[in-house]
């Protein structure tokens, strides 16, 4: 059993996983729950590698091991599949389909290839089609021997109670400032200290958000977002500047990172808000969440999208400004 921490942060979750592996009765289904950007995907793949590891051997590469199966969003079409194969950014389908789950279930009819355990990772489980959820439920009710399910969920409440009730929940916590700084230094060593500090402050403990902040140079955008949240934007001046900072033809990844940054800003404004403002923050956050799920597959016009983001932020600061 490898007791070393193979990533930065989530020490408590890793220790809980190792303790479960060492127990006599390992639960067959797990729900890795926590906000987007906390590192659940990397954790799940490393946890799966530890699960299937042959005692005495090194932890295998989860991307190459035949007994680790990952269900995730597929490329949107053949052209996007070519981009993925070439290592380029690509658009994905909106959901994890029932066909993907059924294909996985067919594989379960055979024994694991290299040992007596295999791992099924669903990333994220809260993006499965309804029929896919129903198909998965049957597998969770009668799991084949040696098969373990690792379900990742950014919003566990979107999953059926019957799914959640069959899973042991492993919760993921926000990283502290030192851990976030270490992640940025490791993955984006070119970032200077000022940029790292700004990214850490904006991310509120989510390393994925911090890395996107640095990679897509979102400092000015974040500053404008916080001004809109604080004072509103009745004359649309700040939203105009927000659109200028975004650019006329931004990369899709920059748009997605901006959406996630706005969601993070809204979520972390809740604690200090009045009850009336909390309601507006929750409504705006819900709309941004919907946009975030659509953005990878829909061709949103960049200018309209950033104005929508700005309008949602402004609506939380100014009650008279309606959400569009």
User: For the segment 130-170, what is each residue's pLDDT rounded down to a tens digit?
Assistant: 999 999 998 999 888 899 999 999 989 889 999 999 999 99
Mean pLDDT of the chain: 91
User: For the segment 20-60, what is each residue's pLDDT rounded down to a tens digit?
Assistant: 999 988 999 999 999 889 999 999 999 999 999 998 899 99
Q: pLDDT value at position 4? A: 65
DSSP single-letter state for residue 206: -
pLDDT: is 324 or 57 the higher one? 57
**CA distances (Å), origin 50, targets 27, 116, 120:** 15, 13, 13
Q: Tally Cβ neighbours within 10 Å of residue 252.
A: 15
Q: pLDDT value at position 318? A: 57
Tell me how far apart the alpha carbons of residues 110 and 69 are, in angstroms, rounded to a whole number: 13
Does the pLDDT of residue 89 top 90, yes or no? no
Three-state DSSP at 252 gives helix
pLDDT band at 319 (very low <50, low <70, confident <90, very high): low
pTM of the model: 0.86
Q: pLDDT value at position 322? A: 45
């Amino acid at each position: 059993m490898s007791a070393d921490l193979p990533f930065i942060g989530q020490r408590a979750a890793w220790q809980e996983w190792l303790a479960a592996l060492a127990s006599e009765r390992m639960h067959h289904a797990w729900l890795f729950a926590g906000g987007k950007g906390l590192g659940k995907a990397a954790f799940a793949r490393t946890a799966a590698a530890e699960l299937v590891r042959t005692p005495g051997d090194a932890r295998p590469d989860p991307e190459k091991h035949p007994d680790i199966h990952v269900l995730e969003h597929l490329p949107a079409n053949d052209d996007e599949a070519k981009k993925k194969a070439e290592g380029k950014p690509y658009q994905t389908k909106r959901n994890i389909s029932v066909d993907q789950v059924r294909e996985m279930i067919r594989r379960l009819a055979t024994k694991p290839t290299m040992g007596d355990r295999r791992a099924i990772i669903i990333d994220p489980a809260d993006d499965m089609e309804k029929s896919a959820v129903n198909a998965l439920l049957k597998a969770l009710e009668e799991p084949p021997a040696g098969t373990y399910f690792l379900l990742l969920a950014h919003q566990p409440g979107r999953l059926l109670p019957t799914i959640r009730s069959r899973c042991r929940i492993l919760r993921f916590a926000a990283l502290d400032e030192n851990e976030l700084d270490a992640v940025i230094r490791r993955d984006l060593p070119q970032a200077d200290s000022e940029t790292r500090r700004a990214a850490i402050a904006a991310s509120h403990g989510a390393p994925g958000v911090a890395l996107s902040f640095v990679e897509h140079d979102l400092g000015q955008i974040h500053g404008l977002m916080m001004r809109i949240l604080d004072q509103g934007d009745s004359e649309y001046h700040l939203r105009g500047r927000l659109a200028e900072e975004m650019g006329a033809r931004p990369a899709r990844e920059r748009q997605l990172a901006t959406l996630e940054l706005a969601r993070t800003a809204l979520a972390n404004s809740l604690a200090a808000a009045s009850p009336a403002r909390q309601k507006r923050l929750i409504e705006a956050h819900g709309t941004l969440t919907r946009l975030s799920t659509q953005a990878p597959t829909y061709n949103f016009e960049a200018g309209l999208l950033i104005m929508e983001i700005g309008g949602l932020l402004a609506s939380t600061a100014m009650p008279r400004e309606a959400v569009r």
